[in-house]
Structure 1
């Protein structure tokens, strides 16, 4: 490798990052890597093999600092300083797993909670190894019970740090179990946080609470999700309507998508005005992932007559669904066509069918039959066109030979 016309010794280069190592460590497989690179490989990506030798390499494997190599690299940098190469500083010794576990245990002591949260947040941003130790030490359970305690006491001290810390470790949760024995109270506590306005950094707080709520609902069983209350959906709809980032919006949409298969929850969403807000959201934030989530939720809500009625009462309801077909992704196509199918089948009045002509739904369905789409989507589009052929065949908006060709 060559930097600034200086040849870098091959053994100074990390096999993963292909950059000069700042903190070389040797694994049990005998290969030396830069600490940040191998820790990211083990903890963030959750790999279990040595990238070079392909030998088994556990996440808790010892990473032995290669002090000799680090000193050689530092000396080489000093010698070549004239070429603009900065000397690599001596790395700070990594925190021990025992130290991190002790901090997590301190989180259960009321007098130490706030200071402990601040310390944990500080070391969590350093690397994924520290975060992994925290998760292994039971941090998730400790954080959830702390948030519940804040809700019970209606106190906010430490709440910002607790939710920020949960957000920092979210990528390492995997199948980590959220304590479900008090799941209802955890949900109520997070919904309470989502209602904050004008306190602390309420936008960041809501985003972090949204991610925590997403993690809880993803790991909750169906009986827990069936016990959700109307306030749960009312609050989320209000938050989606208000001041929250794109990340927070998508996290809350994941919550809706997870909870809406339950019929009782669908009715509460509809009563909270979710259909109208989702359409407004799609009109204002046409982003791929957001669109896919919104269409997935709307499909579930349109399985109810009231849900279909809300969508049809919105002036842009049918139009926005139609415009997303063939314009976003295969997932969006699938969900949008299913929504159109449900509406045309169960709410296909003459007025609705004429609106589909006016906003181009029928044309889009014909385009689906010509496009490189999945077979089941073509079948669904053909079924819709055949069902309402007698209504649409006389329209000046449609070329009859084309419509006839695709409905044979």
Structure 2
């Protein structure tokens, strides 16, 4: 079979961002043309023209370049025999008026009506089309407030409406200012609604509730964080235990790391049964990022006596943390060493000291002290400090191999 001839694509058909043929070329006020999908994604985070670096207003509407699109379509049709893919005419994007009208429909309906569900589903379809539509929705006055109101009013009585509103709001990537406003209006009602959703059996809705809870708690003040009800942490731990999905697991871990900066919350998380669940997760051999987040959570929890006691009480807790040293990443090693230092400093009974030697934890710490290429100076210092805490018991322990005894810090 004759090999297809390579066709050179005209440079002005190529998007400067994706370096692919533009399917929906649009022009910014700076005069530069980009593919709509690429420039909308860029503007969400950067707010400037990629080539000129000039600022672009948040409400900027790029102008469709119909002439260039038709040229691209004609060129693609002309070279179809050479394997060039046809470029279809793009669907017109939603305008601000249409999105605002859908939001107005939400205001005009009740939480139990079919009209509310229809309006939410239409709004979800619009939001799912592009980053531009999601950006438009987030900017419509009152849009986020009405979605939150649907969630708080429908979490138990009309779960379908709550599910749709949750999915929409989780797709919007709300700003810190917007989240702060939501929290100020009624964070308690929203948190209780999310807890109600987490208690249901719908895995997708539970995952969305965890995402919104992560965003909300990240924007909370310390005073609000410390007032979170215990049921929040019970449901978070249950979501970890149920292994709904890897993204949901990471979301929950982010929530636990963020909320346990407050000492009282550490005790709540421990009492919710988090420590054995986290250790079992390490036993399952998670990916690098999940391992790091799991160890970061355990590190937080070992900042309280209850957390350290739960770790030591677990049959493989100390050994599993020691196993993570020099195995996953520099960050994971640092968190594991911090945990072991907390245990050695505050919970080191004779049995625990012996266990740390027998399970190879002491040997791992010796390797950390000497591993300048793999560990930071601060991690090596922590490992050395931990070894010196029980040097009498460990330095000449028969469990410590001779080559590791030579590495033992003075």
TM over 0.5, yes or no? yes
Deviation sequence 1:346-381 (CA, Å, 0-9, x none):
111111011111111111111111212111111111
1:341 aligned residue: 341
TM-score for the superposition, normalised by structure 1: 0.92
> 2:82, 2:403 → 1: CA distance?
74
State yes or no: 1:191 paired with 2:185.
no
Corresponding residue SS for 1:227:
coil
1:208-357 to 2 correspondences below 5 Å: 208-357=208-357
1:147 aligned residue: 151
> 1:336, 1:317 → 2: CA distance?
11
2:52 aligned residue: 53
1:388 aligned residue: 390
TM-score for the superposition, normalised by structure 2: 0.91
How far off its partner does 1:16 sit? 1.4
Which consecutive residues of structure 1, in runs of 5 or more, have no partner in the other structure? none
1:70 aligned residue: 69
> 2:177, 2:343 → 1: CA distance?
37
Would the aligned equivalents of 1:393 and 1:400 in 2 still touch at CA under 8 Å? Answer: no
> 2:43, 2:378 → 1: CA distance?
41
State yes or no: 1:169 paired with 2:172.
yes
Aligned with 2:120 (options 104, 112, 117) = 117
CA pair 311-291 structure 1, distance change in 2 beyond 3 A: same
How far off its partner does 1:8 sit? 2.1
2:87 aligned residue: 88
Corresponding residue SS for 1:51:
coil
> 1:402, 1:338 → 2: CA distance?
21
CA pair 347-19 structure 1, distance change in 2 beyond 3 A: same
Corresponding residue SS for 1:108:
helix
1:407 aligned residue: 409
Would the aligned equivalents of 2:151 and 2:165 in 1 still touch at CA under 8 Å? Answer: yes
> 1:108, 1:220 → 2: CA distance?
27
State yes or no: 1:158 paired with 2:157.
no
> 2:30, 2:46 → 1: CA distance?
14
CA pair 174-37 structure 1, distance change in 2 beyond 3 A: farther
- Figure out how many residues of one structure are paired with residues of the other and give that number: 398
Which consecutive residues of structure 2, in runs of 5 or more, have no partner in the other structure? none
